[in-house]
Every structure is written in C-alpha cells, then in structure tokens.
Structure 1
Amino acid sequence: MKFSTTALVGSLAALASCIQAAPLVKRVSGTPGFDISGYQPNPNYSSAVANGAKFVIIKATEGTTFKSSSFSSQYNGATNAGLMRGAYHFAHPDSSSGSAQAKFFLANGGGWTNDGRSLPGTIDLESVSGSSTCYGLSRSALVSWIQDFGNTYKAATGRYPMIYTSSGWWNQCVASSAFAADYPLWVANYGVSSPKIPTGFTYYSFWQYADSGTYPGDQDTWNGSLDSLKTFARG
C-alpha cells in the first residue's frame, strides 16, 4: 500500500521499512476482503464478490481537513454489492488532538451502527513520507493521542476503533501498552505465512498481506470464519 500525505488522496500503507511485498501473492486463510482509497474510485465490487470477497474497508478522512471525495460512492457501492464495510482514518497525531480527529472522522463516514454489516472505524497509524519518525512525538505522547481518539470514538459509538499498524512501527513508536488490548488489531505484514503481532496485542483481527491481488486495492483477511466476522460487526 502507498503512503499518504495530508494533501494527497492516500491509501493505507504498509510501512516501507518494515514490510516487504512477496513476488507472488497467494490467498491466505481466513475470510477474504480488501481495502481501498481514492486511488480506486470505482472498484469492481461485482467481480470482488464473485471471487469470494466478504468485506471492504474504505478511506474516509485524514487529519481534520481531508475528506475522500469518493468515499460515499464507494461505501454505497459496497452496501449495494452485499459486502460488509467499514471506514478508516489516516492519522496525523502531530497536527491536532486525537479527539478532534475522531470527531472529524465520525462526522464524515467513520461511525459505526449495529446493523450487522458495519465494521468499526479504524485509526491508521504508520510512517508518513516527509514527516518525522513517530510523528515527532514521544511514546507517552502517542499513547495519550491514541487513547484520546479511541475514547472519543467509543463515547460516540459504544465501541473502540480498530488500529491499523505494523509491528515495526508500533514497537518503535508506541511499544507495549496495556490499552492496546481494547482495540481490535488490523496488522500489515507482507511476504510472510503469518503476521508478526505488535507488542501489547495478543492476536490480530484483520491482516493486510499484499498491496495487490485478486481484489481492488490492498488484500486483507479476517482472522476467522464469516460467521465470526458477522458477530464482530454486531459488536
């Protein structure tokens, strides 16, 4: 996946220093799906569903100023295609508070409802091209920022958001934090048979394992059966 910047329509990105793409992408175990951004404005959902996809996660916002112009049509298209769907927010902890960014995300497609098809929103935490490592923040400052975002999101929806990250970025910038257990993990790790779990988490919920493949955008899997994914969606 490609890195995002504030001014660009970015997609979720695996950390370049931590993730290597495999030369050949094989479908991994679990329940298959994918994630997209403005780089895939008109995904072929019919083809994805025909090839077994069960869910899609779509970029909605970034910081407190960027709203994806393709999000609404992408989200509605996923709904019409029968896919389970969710939204993600590309975080900029160095630009504004976690609470401010959570509220912006919630106001622009990032909410969650218990309809059996909506996935909780995601905070995308990773290196940003051209920015300081770890957003220029200390571990304690990042922990506080993430909790500020998460607590604001939970107060509005009743559940914590997911965290998208890699073990390399997380272990360097956040390290072990007891609060991580409250947040479902969406881990990025390419070219491996099973993903490395960041410190503080005990297992992964979703795994992004390739930046291209059968489906549009990045290739993902839910760590379990379709029934368990439906249970997760209901909260």
Structure 2
Amino acid sequence: MKFSISAALTLILAAIEAEAAVQGFDISHYQATVNYQGAYNSGARFVIIKATEGTSYIDPKFSTHYTGATNAGLIRGGYHFAHPDSSTGAAQADYFLAHGGGWSGDGITLPGMLDLESVSSKPTCYGLSTSAMVSWIKSFSDRYYSRTGRYPMLYTNLSWWTSCTGNSNAFVNTNPLVLARWSSSPGTIPGGWPYQTIWQNSDSYAYGGDSDVFNGDLAGLRRLASG
C-alpha cells in the first residue's frame, strides 16, 4: 500500500491538534451531583463553576462544586451570569469577587468568566445599545482587572456578540474568549479574536454539565491559571 508524504503529514498534524486540546466542563446548581473524580480520571483537567448573577444571586451549589473540583485535582474557576440591565458592570464584578469569583496565581485557579448571553424573559440585548453594552462589559472587565490583576474571560456566542456589541473588537487584546458553539467545529470567531481560548462544544458532558475544550495543551492551561 502506498503512503504519500502529504497523507503522513496530515496524520501528524491531526495528532498534534488532538494533543493540543484539554477537556473540561462547566457546571451550576442544575447539576446537583457531579462526578469530579470520574471526570478527572477520564482526562478532564478543568471546570468552570457558576458563582453569581447580577448583584443578588449566589449559586447554591457553588461551594460544594468548588470543593469537589479542588479535591479531584481539577483546575477550577467561577463564572458570573451578567444582567446588564440591573446594575453597573463594576457593581456586578464586585459582587462576583465577593462570592467566589476571585483569582490568585496559585496555578489551579482560572480567571473569572463573564457569561454574556440572552435569557428568554429579557430583550435579547437587555435593552442596551451596542455602545452601551460594550461600555457595560468594559466596566465589569476593568473592575475585575483592577482588583485581581487579571482580565476576566468572556463567554459568548457569535449571534449574541454580533447583535449586542456590534461585533466589537474592544476586548481582543485583554480578555480570553470562551466561545459557545455546540457543533463539530468552533466556526466563525466573533469580535476580532484570532481564536477561542476555550470552546464550549456541547451542552452535554458525561460527568456533568456542558463540555468545554481548552485550545492548547496542559502547560498552556496552567499558564492561563497562573497569569
């Protein structure tokens, strides 16, 4: 059987790409029980855990999830579900930081993540103009940075980011992108980011929550956690 150089190169590149990705997942109180150790044993190395919403809601499972993830050896961090219509970005960053969203350069804590998406009970963009939304996100991001020395990751999808920020590229050089697209590939990257740092590729993960993939190797994931 003939085996061309190009075919061999394709296989090598595919192997490199497969190695340069780390499985993870994200969870909230909707996952009452999570098999953290099972996830770790299967190859997962990180988890992002819901901590807060707005300035009045703390996820009741956050502490349990955070402790369980830590005990299993997972790199972990918190996320905040944004309510841009209810208070300033800075106020919500402060609330997030006060209730689990902090960061320290210990190598096992991810920078906090700001979850930007629509909810059915609200207007798609929470009634804000694209410029007002960008300003709101910047307010959150800048406050988080001023208090931790790290910019938060931004979770969003192509449709929301395009509609609600005008596909702004204001965060390309500061905030890692967590891209939500439940598909076989990340697809079009919004906002001028050259690539996604983490890709939420499915709303179902065998050990609980949604499936996330870090766009790099384990050393890169540790660098993200270390600053």
Give your verdict on TM over 0.5. Answer: yes
1:191 Cα offset (Å)? 1.8
Residue 185 (structure 1) aligned with residue 177 (structure 2): yes
- Partners of 2:120 and 2:186 lie apart in 1 by 27
- Partners of 1:143 and 1:114 lie apart in 2 by 28
Q: Retained in 2: the 8 A contact 1:98–1:147?
A: yes
Structure 2 unaligned spans of 5+: 1-17
Residue 64 (structure 1) aligned with residue 52 (structure 2): no
- 2:196 maps to 204
Q: Retained in 2: the 8 A contact 1:187–1:195?
A: no
Question: Which amino acid counterpart does residue 184 of structure 1 have in structure 2?
Answer: P
- 1:85 maps to 76
Please tell me the root mean square deviation across aligned C-alpha atoms, in Å: 1.4
Q: Secondary structure at the match of 2:52?
A: strand
Structure 1 unaligned spans of 5+: 1-26
Distance 1:143 1:75, change over 3 A: same
- 1:126 maps to 117
Question: Which amino acid counterpart does residue 218 of structure 1 have in structure 2?
Answer: D
Distance 1:185 1:192, change over 3 A: same
Number of corresponding residues: 209
Q: Secondary structure at the match of 1:105?
A: helix
Q: Which has the higher contact order (CA 8 A, sep 6+)?
A: 1
Q: Retained in 2: the 8 A contact 1:33–1:220?
A: yes
**Match for residue 107 of structure 1 among 85, 98, 107:** 98
Moved more, 91-100 or 192-201: 192-201
- 1:55 maps to 46
- Partners of 1:213 and 1:44 lie apart in 2 by 11
1:28 Cα offset (Å)? 10
1:185 Cα offset (Å)? 0.2
Larger-gyration structure (1/2): 2
Q: Retained in 2: the 8 A contact 1:188–1:195?
A: no
- Partners of 1:87 and 1:145 lie apart in 2 by 20
- Partners of 2:171 and 2:194 lie apart in 1 by 9
- 1:145 maps to 136
1:29 Cα offset (Å)? 6.6
Q: Retained in 2: the 8 A contact 1:40–1:217?
A: yes
**TM-score, normalized by length of structure 2?**
0.89
Question: Which amino acid counterpart does residue 223 of structure 2 have in structure 1?
Answer: T
User: Following TM superposition, where does structure 1 have runs of at least 4 consecutive aligned residues deviating by more than 2 angstroms?
Assistant: 175-179, 192-196
1:89 Cα offset (Å)? 0.2
**TM-score, normalized by length of structure 1?**
0.86
Q: Secondary structure at the match of 2:171?
A: helix
Residue 163 (structure 1) aligned with residue 154 (structure 2): yes
Q: Retained in 2: the 8 A contact 1:32–1:220?
A: yes
- Partners of 1:147 and 1:50 lie apart in 2 by 38
